[in-house]
Chains A and B, each alone.
Chain A
């Protein structure tokens, strides 16, 4: 039985997107993937909690796909966490619905990778900056995987880096669906990109 992947895609200005939109399209086309465009489904932020919880129940792997906004998710994805990850559903007494599922982020960042280091102007690595999501996953009993990240996203198209980024991501998702990933070997990396150097498969 292949794993079912739920991708929660959050991008508030898709008409200007150069990386996330093609990335989302390529992901959507894969077997075993359910793609949810949160801004399209809830343009006025009235998230349907029951529907979202049901979706979580029906999937094994949850992906947050978003461009980094102020070192965090776009606001609708935070709204989604605030509303959907309820006490008694995701955590707390009887809140065991998410236990054992996998959570990971696919992010794009405007800054160069050099900035996301202790010596760089952003001072923290991308994995460190996404700690609130990591801890959320932990409190819900989920397994957290390091983020799959693209840096310098504003010039990625001009530099011709978009396709390689998409190809790498497609391999990861295919492996996740097929259950071919060695989760333990991935868990400690700073980024998933490291575990998937160009052309290699785990």
Chain B
């Protein structure tokens, strides 16, 4: 037991130190984990043999990652980027794999192994590139969007790759492995439903498993989630989410399919569900930690002896494949009308290999598709090319951007690359109307509510809403708070609304906070918490009714409207004083200040509203005052007057 604690502590410690440091130096978290692994593994030698076992376990992070990728793939989003996704992604993938395979065969490798290597090196780093693009604010540019499409395409084709690699097993490796396992099989006896079944039963079983994931995801998961959500217990929801992913992984392994594939399908099936964001929030930390662990084990497994012995070969392969990929991508970008700066951005972000490379390397090794010596060498190449990614971005920033800077500036007018996104917390009677106005005008909104029934009702009306507690920071992140421009707070719970404003104001000062206040006191609390714009929910409606009353009492409708507007303006003028005195009175305990001021201001209001209509300073009727009677007799042509200057 003690041993496990010490080991776990070493791993966590390395991550805690290395990852924030790597991020600070602009290297990104993936590299941080890799470096942490390198330090505790080959450099210091704190960890050793157990990394292999750990890596098996940590690969479950990849399953979760694919589940999350599936969750993000709404069919509609996919459709809107079909040309880039399939066209650019497919073409880049196909051409690159063939080119890399050809190059590998030139080195005298078997065609199956060459194809495996081609697939491994094709995959770019989704984690590093997307994170870097976001940090640099390039997500909305042509180059950024194209990169995203290609990366997404690569994430998807990992699934068929995982299916393909076992078919590419190398005969001699397979033979060795069978000899080995024949000895071991009697000893362990793994759980496998399908061994010994006829082929057609096996095929049927696989189909049944896939069908049950799709069917279950679509029809059974929602009642289950609703049932759990109604219990209001957060940790049970987390348990349910984990149960789902692990259950699918187990089912898939039982029938001999890839757990990653099953998780991905389940994710796509659930992408339209109202529980999407809540699921993402719950799985995300597990995925993050397990993937982190995975990268650490990769780093710890880097063979420095091998690197020292073959440094020229590693360097040659790394530089060679990056140049090959970059060249091909650069040429293909042209076909899709991507030019200058964007073309370079796309080229440089896709050129290095990525984290999926490690997954495929260990996967192909397990499936006898790659000998250990080449796997070690390739791991080195992938790791070093990933280390180069930040360097390529720096090259883009320092060297390429200045060259294209002028061209960009000219096109700047009117071009808004990305529509601002709005998150609406609370979709009751107030939030709904806000949402309708925004959506009717083509604004993308994300709507969150903690009332599962309410979300259900809205979904029936085709209003896109998600179940989740908006006061949970991690849920806000998955809902896209980092890209949001506006945050509308319309939740019923008054105290939680204030807390939410306070949190948002400190954590995301760049996001505008629009809040709904229940009453005047709530208004002050929200203002103090840092809301940018607050509307009292009953104020405008009540004034509208008051205006109607004035009209029915005999005021001309236009005059009644003017009186209403004047009332609002007078209140606005006095609002700051009232607020300050409220702040003072709350700080000093309930002093008399606020009430006194209120009474005093009501008097001012009365006086101002009822002031004599002929008075030039009559507030309500300023402006349409006729000039005094008889004024026309005194008017003279100013041109007839002597010059004043």
* A183 contacts chain B at the CB level, 8 A cutoff: no
Residues in B lying within 8 Å of A, measured CB to CB: 565, 569, 616, 622-625, 627-628, 631, 634-635, 637-639, 641, 644-645
B627 touches A92 (CB 8 A): yes
Q: Is the interface of A mostly helix, strand, loop or mixed?
A: loop
User: Do B631 and A92 touch (CB < 8 A)?
Assistant: yes
Partner of A83, one of B569, B616, B623, B635: B623
Partner of B623, one of A86, A138, A139, A141: A86
Q: Complex: how many Å from CA A138 to CA B640?
A: 11
Q: Is the CB of B623 within 8 A of A140?
A: no
Q: Could you list 13 A-B pairs, sorted by A, with CB under 8 Å?
A: A46-B569, A47-B623, A49-B623, A82-B624, A83-B622, A83-B623, A84-B623, A86-B616, A88-B616, A92-B635, A100-B645, A141-B638, A141-B639
> CB of A169 within 8 A of chain B?
no
Q: Is A93 interfacial (CB-CB < 8 Å)?
A: yes
Q: Cβ of B631 and Cβ of A139 under 8 Å apart? A: no
A116 within 8 A of B: no
A139 and B638 contacting across the interface, CB-CB below 8 Å: yes
Which interface residue of B616, B624, B627, B641 has the most chain A CB atoms within 10 A? B627
With both chains docked as a complex, state the minimum distance between the C-beta of A202 and any C-beta of chain B, in angstroms: 21
Q: Across the interface, which residues of B come within 8 angstroms of A86, CB to CB?
A: 616, 623, 625
* A185, chain B: closest CB distance, angstroms: 18
Q: Decide if B644 touches A91 in the complex (CB within 8 Å).
A: no
Rounded to whole angstroms, the CA-CA distance of A142 and B296 in the bound complex is 79
Residue of A whose beta carbon sits closest to that of B639:
A138
Instruction: Give Cα distance in the complex from A138 to B637, angstroms.
Output: 8
How many Å from the CB of B206 to the closest CB on chain A?
Answer: 55
Given known contacts A46-B569, A88-B616, A92-B635, is B641 in contact with A141 (CB within 8 Å)?
A: yes
Q: A140 and B634: CB pair below 8 A?
A: no
Q: Which residues of A contact B625 (CB under 8 A)?
A: 86-87
User: Is A99 an interface residue, CB under 8 A from the partner?
Assistant: yes
Q: Is B631 within 8 A of A93, CB to CB?
A: yes
Q: Are A82 and B623 in contact (CB under 8 A)?
A: yes
**CB nearest neighbor in A for B623:** A83
Q: A49, B631: Cβ atoms under 8 Å?
A: no
Interface set, chain A 6-23, CB cutoff 8 A to B:
none
Q: Nearest chain-B residue to A79 (Cβ)? A: B623
A14 vs chain B, min Cβ distance (A)? 11
A87 touches B631 (CB 8 A): yes
| Consensus secondary structure, chain B interface | loop
Q: In the complex, A86→B628 CA distance in Å?
A: 11
Further 5 A-B residue pairs, CB within 8 A, beyond A92-B634, A99-B644? A44-B565, A83-B623, A87-B627, A92-B627, A138-B637
State which of A46, A49, A87 has its C-beta within 8 Å of the C-beta of B565. Answer: A46
List 6 A-B pairs, minimum CB-CB distance, nearest first: A141-B638, A87-B627, A83-B623, A46-B565, A92-B631, A49-B622
Bound CA span A49–B562, Å: 14
In this complex, what residue of A is CB-closest to B624? A82
For window 43-93 of A, CB contacts with B under 8 Å fall at: 44, 46-47, 49, 82-84, 86-88, 91-93
Residues of A within 8 A of B623 (CB): 47, 49, 82-84, 86
Contacts of B634 in A (CB 8 A): 92-93
Q: What are the interface flags for A115-159 relative to B under an 8 Å C-beta threshold, 1 for contact and 0 otherwise?
A: 000000000000000000000001111000000000000000000
Q: Chain A's nearest CB lies how many Å from the CB of B167? A: 57
- Chain B residues with Cβ below 8 Å from A139 are 635, 638
Q: A86-B623, A100-B645 are in contact. Are A140 and B638 (CB under 8 A)?
A: yes
| Closest partner residue, chain A, to B617 (CB atom) | A50
Q: Which residue of B lies closest to A21 (CB)?
A: B414
Residue of B nearest to A142 (CB): B638
Shortest distance from the beta carbon of B642 to any chain A beta carbon, whole Å? 11
Minimum CB–CB distance for B634 against chain A, Å: 6
**Given A49-B622, A83-B623: A138 in contact with B631 (beta carbons within 8 A):** no
Complex Cα distance A84/B623, Å? 7
Q: Which single residue of chain A is at the shortest CB-CB distance from B627?
A: A87
Q: Which residues of B contact A91 (CB under 8 A)?
A: 635
A11 and B426 alpha carbons, distance in the complex (Å): 37
Cα separation A93 to B631 with both chains bound (whole Å): 8
Chain A contacts of B569 at CB under 8 A? 46
- Check A99 against B624 for contact (C-beta < 8 Å): no
Chain A neighbourhood of B638, CB < 8 A = 99, 138-141
Shortest distance between the CB of B357 and any CB in chain A (Å) = 48
Residues of A with C-beta under 8 A to B631: 87, 92-93
Query: Cβ of B635: which chain A residues have Cβ within 8 Å of it?
Result: 91-92, 139
Chain A residues within an 8 Å CB radius of B624: 82-83
**Residues of B contacting A141 in the complex (Cβ-Cβ under 8 angstroms):** 638-639, 641
A87 to B626, CA, bound (A): 8
Closest chain-B Cβ to A20's Cβ sits at a distance in Å of 14
Across the interface, name the chain A residue whose C-beta is closest to B634: A93
State A82–B624 Cα separation when bound (angstroms). Answer: 7
- Chain A residue numbers with a CB within 8 Å of B622 are 49, 83
Chain B residues within 8 Å of A44, by CB: 565
CB pair B639–A87 under 8 Å, yes or no, is no
Closest to B616 in A: A88
Q: Give chain B residues whose Cβ lies under 8 Å from the Cβ of A84.
A: 623
Q: How far is the CB of A100 from chain B (nearest CB, A)?
A: 6
A49 to B566, CA, bound (A): 13
What is the bound-complex CA distance between A86 and B622, given in angstroms? 9
A100 CA to B625 CA, complexed, in Å = 25
**Chain B residue at minimal CB-CB distance from A139:** B638
How far apart sit A139 and B634, CA to CA, in the bound complex (Å)? 13
Is there contact, CB below 8 Å, between B644 and A100? yes
State how many angstroms separate the Cβ of B55 from the closest Cβ of chain A. 56
C-alpha spacing A141/B639, complex, angstroms: 7
For the complex formed, measure the closest distance between the CB of A146 and the CB atoms of chain B, giving whole angstroms.
17
Q: How far is the CA of A93 from the CA of B639 in the complex (A)?
A: 15
- Minimal beta-carbon separation of B564 from chain A (angstroms): 11
- Tell me the smallest distance from the CB of B184 to a CB of chain A, in Å: 72
A196 CA / B218 CA spacing, docked (Å): 72
Chain A residues with CB under 8 Å of B616's CB are 86, 88
The minimal Cβ–Cβ distance linking B319 to chain A, given in whole angstroms, is 48
Pick the residue among B628, B637, B644, B645 that contacts A87 (CB under 8 A).
B628
Q: Which residue of A is nearest B631, CB measured? A: A92
> How many whole Å from A80's CB to the nearest CB in chain B?
10
Q: A147-177 vs B: 1/0 string, CB under 8 Å?
A: 0000000000000000000000000000000
How far does the alpha carbon of A84 sit from the alpha carbon of B634 in the complex, in Å?
21
Collect the chain A residues with CB atoms within 8 Å of residue B641's CB: 141
Tell me the complex Cα distance, A139–B636, Å: 8
Residue of A nearest to B569 (CB): A46
- For A140, the closest partner residue in chain B by CB is B638
Q: Which residues of B contact A87 (CB under 8 A)?
A: 625, 627-628, 631
Expressed in whole angstroms, the Cα–Cα distance for A46 and B569 within the complex equals 10
Bound together, the chains give a CA A91 to CA B622 distance in angstroms of: 16
Chain A residues with CB under 8 A of B628: 87
Q: What's the Cα separation between A141 and B641 when bound, in Å? A: 9
Nearest residue (CB) in A for B626 is: A87
Interface string of A86-113 (1 = CB under 8 A from B): 1110011100100110000000000000
Q: In the complex, which residues of chain B have a beta carbon less than 8 angstroms from the beta carbon of A100? A: 644-645
- Nearest-CB distance from B445 to chain A (Å)? 21
A103 to chain B, nearest CB (A): 13
Whole-angstrom CA separation of A86 from B631 in the bound complex: 13
